[in-house]
A and B are shown apart, each in its own frame.
Chain A
Amino acid sequence: MLAKVLLTLSVVLTIGTIGWWIHDSIDYGKLLILSKTAREVIVVERDPLFGQPIKRLELQPGRWLGLFDAAPPFGAVPLCSVWIALGAFGWWLRKRAART
Chain B
Amino acid sequence: MVRFVCVLCGVLVVTAWAGEKTFVLTNAGKYRNQAQFTSTAPLETIVGTADHFSGEFTLDVAEFKRASGTVTVEVRSMKTGNTTRDGHMHGSDWLDANRYPTITFQLKRLVSPSISREAERTVVKAKAIGDFTLHGATKEITADITITYLERSEKTRAIADGDLALVQASFSVPLAEFGIKGKGTLIGSRVGETITVEATLLGVSK
CB neighbours (8 Å) of B190 from chain A are 33
Q: Give chain A interface residues in 18-63, CB to chain B under 8 Å.
A: 33-40, 42, 47, 49-52, 54-57, 59
Pick the residue among A37, A40, A49 that contacts B47 (CB under 8 A): A40
Instruction: Check A52–B166 contact: CB distance below 8 A.
Output: yes
Pick the residue among B32, B84, B146, B156 that contacts A52 (CB under 8 A): B146
Instruction: Check A39–B198 contact: CB distance below 8 A.
Output: no
CB neighbours (8 Å) of B121 from chain A are 50-51
Q: A50-B166, A52-B168 are in contact. Are A57 and B82 (CB under 8 A)?
A: no
CB neighbours (8 Å) of A66 from chain B are 82
Pick the residue among A36, A47, A49, A55 that contacts B82 (CB under 8 A): A36
Instruction: Check A52–B82 contact: CB distance below 8 A.
Output: no
Instruction: Check A49–B150 contact: CB distance below 8 A.
Output: yes
CB neighbours (8 Å) of A47 from chain B are 166
CB neighbours (8 Å) of A33 from chain B are 43-44, 190
Complex-state Cα separation, A8 to B200, whole angstroms: 54
CB of B200, distance to nearest CB on chain A (Å): 6
* A33 nearest CB neighbor, chain B only: B44
Q: A52-B146, A54-B200 are in contact. Are A34 and B85 (CB under 8 A)?
A: yes
Q: A40-B47, A51-B118 are in contact. Are A59 and B32 (CB under 8 A)?
A: no
The number of chain B residues with a CB under 8 A from chain A is 29
Q: In terms of DSSP, what is the predominant structure of the interface of chain B?
A: strand
Instruction: Check A37–B82 contact: CB distance below 8 A.
Output: yes
Pick the residue among B79, B159, B200 that contacts A55 (CB under 8 A): B200
CB neighbours (8 Å) of A57 from chain B are 34, 36, 47-49
Q: In terms of DSSP, what is the predominant structure of the interface of chain A?
A: loop
Complex-state Cα separation, A56 to B48, whole angstroms: 11
CB of B205, distance to nearest CB on chain A (Å): 15
Instruction: Check A52–B123 contact: CB distance below 8 A.
Output: yes
CB of B159, distance to nearest CB on chain A (Å): 7
Q: Does B138 contact A (CB under 8 A)?
A: no
CB neighbours (8 Å) of B36 from chain A are 42, 55, 57
Q: A50-B166, A52-B166, A55-B200 are in contact. Are A69 and B84 (CB under 8 A)?
A: yes
Q: Does A5 contact B (CB under 8 A)?
A: no
Complex-state Cα separation, A66 to B121, whole angstroms: 46
Complex-state Cα separation, A92 to B121, whole angstroms: 76
Complex-state Cα separation, A34 to B31, whole angstroms: 31
Complex-state Cα separation, A52 to B12, whole angstroms: 35
Complex A-B: 7 CB contacts under 8 Å: A38-B82, A39-B81, A40-B81, A49-B155, A52-B123, A52-B168, A57-B48
Given A33-B44, A55-B200, output 18 extra A-B contacts at Cβ < 8 Å.
A34-B84, A34-B85, A36-B82, A38-B81, A38-B82, A40-B81, A51-B121, A51-B123, A51-B148, A54-B168, A55-B36, A56-B32, A57-B48, A59-B49, A59-B79, A69-B84, A71-B84, A72-B84
